[in-house]
Structure 1
Amino acid sequence: MSYNTENIRNIALAGHAGSGKTTLFEALLHAGGVIQIQGSVERGTTQSDTDSQEKARGHSIDSSIAGIDRAHCHINLIDTAGYADFRGATLASFAAVETVAIVVNAINGIEYGTRRMMERAKERGLARVLVVNKIDFEGARLGMLVDALREEFGSECLPVNLPAQGGKLVLDCFFHRNGTTDFSSLAEAHQRILDQVVEINESVMGTYLDTGEASLTPEQLHDAFEQCLREGHLVPICFVSARNGAGVNELLELADKLLPNPTEGNPPPFLNAENQPIDVSADPAKHVVADVFKIVNDPFVGKLGVFRVWQGTIRRDTQLFIDDGRKPFKVGHLFRLNAKTHVEIDQAIPGDIAAVAKIEEIHFDAVLHDSHDEDRIHLAPLRFPQPMFGLALEPKHKGQEQKLSQALLRLSEEDPCFRMEHHKELNETVIRGLSDLHLKVMLERMKERYGVEVVTHPPRIAYRETIAGHAEGHHRHKKQTGGAGQFGEVFLRVEPLNRGSGFEFVDAVKGGVIPGQFLPAIEKGVRQAMESGAVAGFPLQDLRVTVYDGKYHPVDSKEVAFVSAGKKAFLDAVSKAHPIVLEPIVDVEVAIPESNVGDVTGGLAGKRARILGTDTQRGGELVIKAQAPLAELTDYPTELKAMTGGRGRYSLDLSHYEPVPLPVQRQLSEAWKPKVEED
């Protein structure tokens, strides 16, 4: 099919685990003529869940992309994972679409993942659609669910179609008003949504009030509807049954007629090198701007960089640059991802989602462009949850250290919430992810794909250090070895900054007592000391260092002398500035059966947690919100499983750092002293 940018629709399916996103993805592909037989999650035959881990576990782990060609539009559809453990790939897909369709389980109603995806899509300025799935299942009370959605997310949530005949049929109520549904008349629903749509556009509202609905053209209704979506004034509610197909064609028709195309969505938040907003338009004739939102290490075609084209046209044999690099690469092969297969294409226009292969330098969130003169353009970063769970690991078999490093690098390229760290002082490699399940899946992938097995153990908690007061420090470095000596003297002061401020280095030297070329050496020494810690061996943060005086020797002063003087003057000042150890505090959300609330809240209280509140869900489930020190949650997966019989689940997000209790600081400091003395 030949199409232009105005014919493209980019939609991500998101939502809570178990809402039926993958089954709906299959149903949409089947209705769109992409596949002849609809696959099954239970049988492991779906187009999107192709990874062996996905098939074994029966749920999505990564996102999957497929295109649907209709008579009047081309739909790029992205199926995403519902489990919070794999949220990284889900959120990454938001950088490629204009619309997020949040799938809601008609039986379970509003769940944790429903809220999170609605928040994140709104935060990104994306159009949102609530897709109520499983409408034909026994126990689905759809009228009550619509009321709950409107109460939770606002009165802008309105049905654009309604179920009938027990979920066997779906009737449009935006363009039509006649008919009876399971819980509301089409006329009532039609009037509510029409009133919501026309009130945002003065011209359309005037026409409607003066001459009535009949005088409004489909084009006027489309423009007003699209404006409502773009401004968050309307969140359509659509009903489907991915199992029996009810509402699936209606959802495709909604995408075709009413959802925003790439020229209608909110402008993407591109920034220049100074982080100032810049205009990027969906003009195929302008120079290329594309954003890489997904990396796939494919065993057959090599490393794939999957990108969304925002401006310009990418053709085979085009030369592109990565970020602000000056070394171009040639687009030898250009692919469209179609779930399980990669289809080679000649060009990608604004709005297209495509991929290039075998470009080792390409990375997640890279901006591709074709201009030698282009400044550093980047897309405003998505807000990903911090990977707080850690495992220290080493290869099970000797001689596989290099192989392990390469495997971890490949896995971290694919998942923005999976990270690898190496702590030199401990000679310890640590991987971090969003949960124990997240890390377990990554280790299983590493064994399966790269043949690397590992031994794991708990890592050190990511404590930090800072200071609570002001102090001054001084050190004179003087060394004579027979020839030219070493000399450097530094006076500096330290002061605390607000939590999360990082580090500031200030040059307040006057009169040339320290020549300017030695200031970077002093800063280098300070940073070395900050990495090593001053109380318990953890990196220092949230402080300002001001160098205000010193001395130098015209012959003996060298960079190495001022590195040493800066380091020791800094440690001298920190030792007098009431150094403290900070611990990571995480936001905890625990979803449990109501019958377990006493055990779970009591267990959290015993871990120095602060209970912030509870929220009752449909089906007798309770969500407990708390803040707790990460150090206290090392064994929490096992404990929660034991308390709830495996029915509890939880998620963590980094909130902030705060001082550890004094006994804990003493314990950490005492454990560090023998190592310092040994060194």
Structure 2
Amino acid sequence: MNRPSGPENAPSPASPREIRNVVLVGPAGAGKSTLFEHLVAARVEGRRPRDDDRQASTGLVAASFASGEVVVNLIDTPGNPDFVGEVRAGMRAADAALFVISGADGLDVATRMLWRECGVTGMPRAIVVTRLEQARADFDETVATCRRVFGEAQPLAVPVQPGGPGTTVAGLVDLLRAPGDETGRRSALVEAIIEESEDETLLERYLDGEDVDVETLTADLHAAVSTARFFPVLPTHATSGIGMEEILDLIEQGLPSPADVALPRVYRTNGGDFGAVGCDPAGPLVAEVVRTTTDSFVGRQSLVRVFSGTLRPDDPVHVSGHLQQFAQGRLGGHDDHDEDLDRVGALTAPVGDGSRPKARAIAGDLVLVSRLSGAETTDTISSPRQPALVEPWVLPEPLLPVAIHARSKGDEDKLASVLQTLVSEDVTLRLDLNAETHQVVLWTMGPAHLALLTRALEEQHHVAVEAEPLRTALRETFVSPCEVQGRLVKQSGGHGQYAVCRLRIEPLPRGAGFEFVDKVVGGSVPRQYVASVEKGARAQLDRGVLNGYPAVDVRVTLLDGRSHPVDSSDMAFQTAAGQALREAANESTVSMLEPIDAVDIEVADESVGSALADLRGRRGQVHGTEPAAQEGRTLIHAEVPALELSRYPIDLRSVSHGTGTFTRRFARYDYLPPQLVEDVVRGS
């Protein structure tokens, strides 16, 4: 991902208070990547902004540069909802967020949801308004919408547009330094800032007519933003450079440093509390891998956020894989063995698609680390003397399954290895090697995510793949009781094979499993062969009795049988039992079962009707609705056949106009409608 851009060293902050970690978030088309490029170009000598960076639309891109008295680590994130995992990784690495909003398009649902996520964690936020030159754009209306939806949003500057809203932006008026206040905007801004001032008398003095100097307002701006209750707004026109200096000034003077924000909770790897951890370069090393990439030029690189301590090249470090541990609902599953130790490679500061050497990374900093071969995204990096485990950030669940296979037989082994690499780099990708359906299934975030993975397989790893129909793990079950005899009699000279068993086969309730009952009297089946009958019945049920799917929820009763003193054997009775079950199975005695998932769907209130109608078309059973935690949204509880959910992430976006999210979990098996059996079985 990053190639060295030159021999000069990256700027090195002396203290966490000299660092600003800022993430750009917002919808696709709002101009985040353009803004990122022009902000970096404004501070990195010789860098020319690029407005067509494809990588910036699908993955996290970072740049580290000096600006005034601080070092800014600026992070660009994708706007496509398929890559929300990259957005959350960027938010984890940052201490403040710049929400980039198009003045022409307004606020979309995804942006509102991300804003609420930041509110839950208390992340300080500011707003940058772009696309003001477009015909539909209106800065005042955008600010009013932000204030209505977000809260105390106040412009720090207003655009100068001689032709009126929706025309060329000629410059900005800085409200903090503006001499006049005909519109009352400056007064509203000043009051909002000093309401958060630590000087409790300042607001009263201001209202009594005392003038507040710009230096005091600037200091109180930092305090106001840090509360995550006040949200400054800045207009911009990135390609002409208008607003770049104002945004950088806001980052330097208004946004918090790593020393001003709370750290995530830290545990010991054995499950105990790690103790107090502060943003202190002299403290114990606690860092986290927020992104992992593999590049053909520089190999494996880890983008690491250092929370405590100092990271240096060649340091031995402990690697804790907390993603698996927290997913299992426990701690302490990752023992402190030698294989958990790694050694830090070269440190570099990212600059978009380049990097510069870095001698160290102190608490609060963001750095690229090479050769951390044992570390994956979300892993904790700590001192071998004090192994630590950072509580993970909220990870989105991949819900779009796609079955794939290598186009060439010769690439099958290579595909398995490459997929493991991709999974280690992308926490929103889940790999399912389904032993039952014999398929390789990628669980992805959506079609754009799948397209990116397919392109990476072909262009970077030279493995061409093809999608195939997704097979569902069906089940068989007996639906009516029957009695049947299994008979194996073979004579071929010498020892033959002889076993006869009479079985009663009965259905059991869903989820009851398998039950075996011995009702043989008089020793017609010797005791040592009763277990053989049970073993043979279990094996046949596992293989299936009609269509080749495991049979479940069955009681098999051994009623009678016959044996031969010489020709009977364990294997003969196993075979006879299996034969009996196969003979009992036909379309009138056996039905197919399909997996049913419990689904919780959250949509905007106005999309509830469409979502319910869509569920009915999927053979879903709605069990109830209730208000969601977020105002204006509804939670729908339903059960839906897994067969009907293969494209649900895509279809839910459509019926909910992008407002819908859902989770799914296996609930039970239930009868597959007879009219679907032939098509489903043939397709599987």
TM-score (structure 1 length as normaliser): 0.70
Partner of 2:200: 205
| CA-CA distance at 1:298 after TM superposition | 1.1
Report if aligned partners of 2:300, 2:371 keep a CA contact under 8 Å in 1: yes
Kindly tell me: are residues 469 and 431 of structure 1, through their superposed partners in 2, closer, same or farther at Cα, counting changes over 3 Å? Answer: closer
* 345, 349, 353: which one aligns with 2:358: 345
Partner of 1:196: 192
| 1:45-99 residue CA offsets vs partner (Å, 9 max, x unmatched) | x4xx4x4xxxxxxx61011011121221111111110000111111111111101
**What is the alpha-carbon distance in structure 1 between the residues aligned to residue 475 and residue 118 of structure 2?**
33
**What is the alpha-carbon distance in structure 2 between the residues aligned to residue 640 and residue 653 of structure 1?**
8
Partner of 2:156: 160
**What is the alpha-carbon distance in structure 2 between the residues aligned to residue 221 and residue 336 of structure 1?**
33
**What is the alpha-carbon distance in structure 1 between the residues aligned to residue 626 and residue 513 of structure 2?**
44
| CA-CA distance at 1:128 after TM superposition | 1.2
Partner of 2:424: 413
* 249, 253, 266: which one aligns with 1:253: 249
| 1:345-391 residue CA offsets vs partner (Å, 9 max, x unmatched) | 1111112111221222111111111242x24x333222222111111
Does 2:448 match 1:440?
no
- Please give the secondary structure, in 2, of the residue aligned with 1:583: strand
- Please give the secondary structure, in 1, of the residue aligned with 2:190: helix
Q: How does 1:554-633 map to 2 (within 5 A)?
A: 581-585=595-599, 587=601, 605-608=616-619, 629=640, 631-633=643-645
Report if aligned partners of 2:316, 2:342 keep a CA contact under 8 Å in 1: yes
**What is the alpha-carbon distance in structure 2 between the residues aligned to residue 584 and residue 38 of structure 1?**
48
**What is the alpha-carbon distance in structure 2 between the residues aligned to residue 275 and residue 240 of structure 1?**
48
Amino acid at match of 1:352: D
Report if aligned partners of 1:103, 1:114 keep a CA contact under 8 Å in 2: no
Report if aligned partners of 2:82, 2:449 keep a CA contact under 8 Å in 1: yes
* 636, 659, 663: which one aligns with 1:655: 663
Amino acid at match of 2:225: L
- Please give the secondary structure, in 2, of the residue aligned with 1:11: strand
Kindly tell me: are residues 469 and 636 of structure 1, through their superposed partners in 2, closer, same or farther at Cα, counting changes over 3 Å? Answer: closer
Q: How does 1:247-396 map to 2 (within 5 A)?
A: 247-273=243-269, 274=271, 276=273, 278-323=275-320, 325-327=336-338, 328-372=341-385, 374-375=386-387, 377-396=388-407
Q: If you compute each CA radius of gyration, which structure gives the higher value, 1 or 2?
A: 2
| 1:123-144 residue CA offsets vs partner (Å, 9 max, x unmatched) | 3321111211112222212222
Size of the aligned set, in residue pairs, is 545
Kindly tell me: are residues 238 and 604 of structure 1, through their superposed partners in 2, closer, same or farther at Cα, counting changes over 3 Å? Answer: farther
* 90, 107, 111: which one aligns with 1:110: 107
Kindly tell me: are residues 133 and 269 of structure 1, through their superposed partners in 2, closer, same or farther at Cα, counting changes over 3 Å? Answer: farther
| 1:397-445 residue CA offsets vs partner (Å, 9 max, x unmatched) | 1132221011111222222111111112222211011112211221121
Kindly tell me: are residues 637 and 128 of structure 1, through their superposed partners in 2, closer, same or farther at Cα, counting changes over 3 Å? Answer: closer
**What is the alpha-carbon distance in structure 2 between the residues aligned to residue 329 and residue 663 of structure 1?**
52
| 1:143-174 residue CA offsets vs partner (Å, 9 max, x unmatched) | 222111122222x222222222253222222x
Q: Which runs of 5+ in 1 are unaligned?
A: 52-58, 478-484, 489-528, 530-535, 541-578, 615-622, 675-679
**What is the alpha-carbon distance in structure 1 between the residues aligned to residue 651 and residue 511 of structure 2?**
43
**What is the alpha-carbon distance in structure 1 between the residues aligned to residue 73 and residue 413 of structure 2?**
39
| 1:499-525 residue CA offsets vs partner (Å, 9 max, x unmatched) | xxxxxxxxxxxxxxxxxxxxxxxxxxx
Partner of 1:172: 174
* 131, 138, 147: which one aligns with 1:134: 131
Does 2:13 match 1:3?
yes
Q: Give the percent of matched residue pairs that are identical in Structure 1 and Structure 2.
A: 24
Partner of 1:119: 116
- Please give the secondary structure, in 2, of the residue aligned with 1:421: strand
| CA-CA distance at 1:196 after TM superposition | 2.5
Report if aligned partners of 2:100, 2:129 keep a CA contact under 8 Å in 1: yes
* 41, 44, 54: which one aligns with 1:30: 41
**What is the alpha-carbon distance in structure 2 between the residues aligned to residue 78 and residue 440 of structure 1?**
23
**What is the alpha-carbon distance in structure 2 between the residues aligned to residue 63 and residue 331 of structure 1?**
22
Q: Which runs of 5+ in 2 are unaligned?
A: 1-10, 321-334, 477-507, 519-527, 532-541, 543-548, 554-592, 628-632
Kindly tell me: are residues 464 and 7 of structure 1, through their superposed partners in 2, closer, same or farther at Cα, counting changes over 3 Å? Answer: farther
- Please give the secondary structure, in 1, of the residue aligned with 2:433: strand
Amino acid at match of 1:236: P
Amino acid at match of 1:169: G
Kindly tell me: are residues 27 and 601 of structure 1, through their superposed partners in 2, closer, same or farther at Cα, counting changes over 3 Å? Answer: farther
**What is the alpha-carbon distance in structure 1 between the residues aligned to residue 216 and residue 67 of structure 2?**
23
- Please give the secondary structure, in 1, of the residue aligned with 2:199: helix
Amino acid at match of 2:173: L
Report if aligned partners of 2:101, 2:127 keep a CA contact under 8 Å in 1: yes
Kindly tell me: are residues 120 and 259 of structure 1, through their superposed partners in 2, closer, same or farther at Cα, counting changes over 3 Å? Answer: same
Does 2:78 match 1:81?
yes
**What is the alpha-carbon distance in structure 1 between the residues aligned to residue 37 and residue 59 of structure 2?**
16
- Please give the secondary structure, in 2, of the residue aligned with 1:204: coil
Q: How does 1:422-437 map to 2 (within 5 A)?
A: 422-437=433-448
Amino acid at match of 1:436: P
**What is the alpha-carbon distance in structure 1 between the residues aligned to residue 300 and residue 414 of structure 2?**
17
Report if aligned partners of 2:153, 2:233 keep a CA contact under 8 Å in 1: yes
- Please give the secondary structure, in 1, of the residue aligned with 2:239: coil
Kindly tell me: are residues 601 and 145 of structure 1, through their superposed partners in 2, closer, same or farther at Cα, counting changes over 3 Å? Answer: farther
Amino acid at match of 1:632: E
Partner of 2:50: 39
**What is the alpha-carbon distance in structure 1 between the residues aligned to residue 636 and residue 64 of structure 2?**
42
Kindly tell me: are residues 157 and 22 of structure 1, through their superposed partners in 2, closer, same or farther at Cα, counting changes over 3 Å? Answer: same
Amino acid at match of 2:371: K
Does 2:163 match 1:151?
no
Kindly tell me: are residues 6 and 39 of structure 1, through their superposed partners in 2, closer, same or farther at Cα, counting changes over 3 Å? Answer: same
**What is the alpha-carbon distance in structure 1 between the residues aligned to residue 31 and residue 605 of structure 2?**
20
| CA-CA distance at 1:103 after TM superposition | 0.7
**What is the alpha-carbon distance in structure 2 between the residues aligned to residue 538 and residue 91 of structure 1?**
43
Kindly tell me: are residues 649 and 670 of structure 1, through their superposed partners in 2, closer, same or farther at Cα, counting changes over 3 Å? Answer: same
TM-score (structure 2 length as normaliser): 0.69
**What is the alpha-carbon distance in structure 2 between the residues aligned to residue 23 and residue 103 of structure 1?**
11
Partner of 1:15: 26
Report if aligned partners of 2:343, 2:372 keep a CA contact under 8 Å in 1: no
**What is the alpha-carbon distance in structure 2 between the residues aligned to residue 463 and residue 61 of structure 1?**
36
Amino acid at match of 1:424: A
| 1:164-185 residue CA offsets vs partner (Å, 9 max, x unmatched) | 2253222222x334357xxx83
| CA-CA distance at 1:7 after TM superposition | 1.3
Partner of 2:228: 232
- Please give the secondary structure, in 1, of the residue aligned with 2:242: coil
**What is the alpha-carbon distance in structure 2 between the residues aligned to residue 303 and residue 139 of structure 1?**
45
Report if aligned partners of 1:134, 1:242 keep a CA contact under 8 Å in 2: no
**What is the alpha-carbon distance in structure 2 between the residues aligned to residue 339 and residue 259 of structure 1?**
21
- Please give the secondary structure, in 1, of the residue aligned with 2:50: coil
Report if aligned partners of 1:29, 1:35 keep a CA contact under 8 Å in 2: no
Kindly tell me: are residues 317 and 663 of structure 1, through their superposed partners in 2, closer, same or farther at Cα, counting changes over 3 Å? Answer: closer
Report if aligned partners of 2:63, 2:350 keep a CA contact under 8 Å in 1: yes
| CA-CA distance at 1:311 after TM superposition | 1.1
**What is the alpha-carbon distance in structure 2 between the residues aligned to residue 258 and residue 36 of structure 1?**
26
- Please give the secondary structure, in 1, of the residue aligned with 2:146: helix
**What is the alpha-carbon distance in structure 2 between the residues aligned to residue 435 and residue 134 of structure 1?**
28
